[in-house]
Structure 1
């Protein structure tokens, strides 16, 4: 009996399959996922993962929900809009497989209650950064300011993960560069611990 099979008998199959799925997504993308392959990797019968996830969409839904929970946690202690953006970029680089799945809703069940709750928690944390702007900083529509801030963070993270910023960054720390970029969009937001 392999270690993975023993883990299954101790109730760790769900996490073992999620971990194996993250490895596959990071290496080959979500389209490479197969419950049969993940069962083989976990050392269990091909039907065992279906017990926890039912099907591929169920597995991807669980990964998306987990990703949104991780994002909410990452944003939880953010000190202002710039720090929230840096934390968003850091989350993407530390959890690239989650990041890929979370923003492809055609892969999972968008009406899943756990997913909806996790997405709402992450959204609340993102909106908190916008709420912290001084009057007038977000322009006439703070919701559009939120879309602008999210677009900047998400676009930067996506370009970073797809290796499209290697030349423009010229070896500089991506988080430092992103922090500077937020100053272009939100120039008057106070920097944590001092003036902008």
Structure 2
């Protein structure tokens, strides 16, 4: 899989200091935090480290996010938004092929950005996830469900029943999330399928089987 740079989706670090002077401090801080996660690791992220990376006062992150938990929640919400964009690359052609693209997009995102992916999973199951985090995570999963719904309609000319759609959507989610977790934790070497497209092709046969 080709590695991409998640920071290009938002504002790049080189522009962060310039943009801050125009008032977009929140975006500056988020991108600084993303850079730390990507380049230095999750353990190196703190409010003070974020402030240093963004070249702003140490009080700035606390003013916007309150605590490190608040910052992590915001990063998770941004992560789900970026995940959905990765899955939506063929959104104008929602066919069986784009169903596969949605699944590979999910896995590609996790493999390319394991630190952020871990934060997303952790904060989604935290005691008090923010409304925005829940909204963004639901939107990502809804896209996977809609891709399956449209692919089934394209192949069979009839809609998939709601109960089966829900069940198969959960199956798709479990598969892509499970594979992603196994891969980024270094466990994929112990399993036989090294190429995610191969297992997703097999999964697609089950997902699109006549109800």
Please state which band the TM-score falls in when normalised by the shorter chain. 0.7 to 0.9
Question: Which residue of structure 2 aligns with residue 58 of structure 1?
Answer: 70
Matched residue pairs, number? 180
> Of 161, 167, 180, which residue of structure 2 is paired with 1:157?
180
Query: TM-score, structure 2 length as denominator?
Result: 0.69
Question: Which residue of structure 2 aligns with residue 145 of structure 1?
Answer: 168
CA distance in 2, matches of 1:128, 1:5: 39
CA distance in 1, matches of 2:76, 2:24: 19
CA distance in 2, matches of 1:103, 1:65: 11
CA distance in 2, matches of 1:67, 1:108: 19
Residues 7-16 or 67-76, more deviating: 7-16
Q: What is the aligned-residue RMSD (CA, Å)? A: 3.2
- Provide Cα deviations, 1:87-146, integer angstroms capped at 9, x if missing partner: 111122233333111111255841x232232223212101113323357999x7332222
Native 8 Å contact 2:86 2:109 kept in 1? yes
Question: Which residue of structure 1 aligns with residue 47 of structure 2?
Answer: 35
CA distance in 2, matches of 1:137, 1:180: 24
> Of 116, 125, 145, which residue of structure 1 is paired with 2:134?
116
Native 8 Å contact 2:80 2:137 kept in 1? yes
In structure 2, the gaps of 5 or more residues are 1-14
In structure 1, the gaps of 5 or more residues are 191-196
Query: TM-score, structure 1 length as denominator?
Result: 0.74
Native 8 Å contact 1:25 1:33 kept in 2? yes
Question: Which residue of structure 1 aligns with residue 103 of structure 2?
Answer: 85
Native 8 Å contact 1:101 1:107 kept in 2? no
> Of 122, 128, 134, which residue of structure 1 is paired with 2:146?
128
